[in-house]
Amino acid sequence: MRHFYVKSTKGMTSGEFNINDTAGSAGRLDIIARCVNAAFWISHSLRTDVVFHTILFGPPNSPIYIKIVGKKLRKVQPDERNISIFLKKAIERFEEDRVVETTPGIFASRKTFEDVIEEYKDCDFYLLGEDGSDISDCDVSENAFFILGDKEDLVDEEVAILEKHGAKKVSLGKISYLTSHCIGFLNVYLDRKN
């Protein structure tokens, strides 16, 4: 299984945003939508071996953890607007004390970053950043769990949690890329290695 986690630093935790303004009023949920596209879509199909994770840290009800499971995902189209509609449903259907499958393959619940990392502690964690070892020097495992920021990097406390779990810092080069482009590159790069 291949995991991607993207932190949504300002992603709104109420569904009361304008679906036509996800780059504004929704706290850059457009970034998360593009990452979901990059994580799952291939031509005429979805990657069934990918799980995508995000935690929305924006107001008014953070953190909301959203998990998207490729092999269960249904109905979603690859365009940003359609993916955003499903993210909005996940936020609206979130409930405080249980995991809700808000639409097929999409799950919302109350979890912290530490909860998520702890739950997947058997994976091998890779923190993306320009100061890491080049991806070509990393022997990426079958059970890789990649961690990425959105427009902002992870904070020190989150990096410390990852370090405790043996995360390796990995770089795609000296250029700083959009998070969605990192995910898209990693998917094709890993396909080509296997």
- By CB under 8 A, name the binding residues for a copy of itself: 20, 22-23, 30, 34, 37-38, 41-44, 77-82, 172-173, 175-178, 180-181, 184-185, 187-189, 191-192
Looking at the Cβ atoms of 84 and 102, the one nearer to a copy of itself is: 84
Cis peptide before 63 (omega within 30 of 0): yes
Shortest Å distance, C-beta 96 to a copy of itself: 31
**Cβ-based neighbour number of residue 180 at 10 Å:** 22
Q: What angle do CA 36, 124, 46 make, to 5 degrees?
A: 30
Q: Which of 191, 185, 49, 80 is nearest to 128 (CA)?
A: 185
The alpha carbon dihedral of 186, 188, 193, 194 has a sign of positive
Looking at the Cβ atoms of 10 and 111, the one nearer to a copy of itself is: 10
Shortest Å distance, C-beta 28 to a copy of itself: 9
Which residue type does 80 have?
E
Looking at the Cβ atoms of 37 and 103, the one nearer to a copy of itself is: 37
Looking at the Cβ atoms of 17 and 94, the one nearer to a copy of itself is: 17
Shortest Å distance, C-beta 9 to a copy of itself: 14
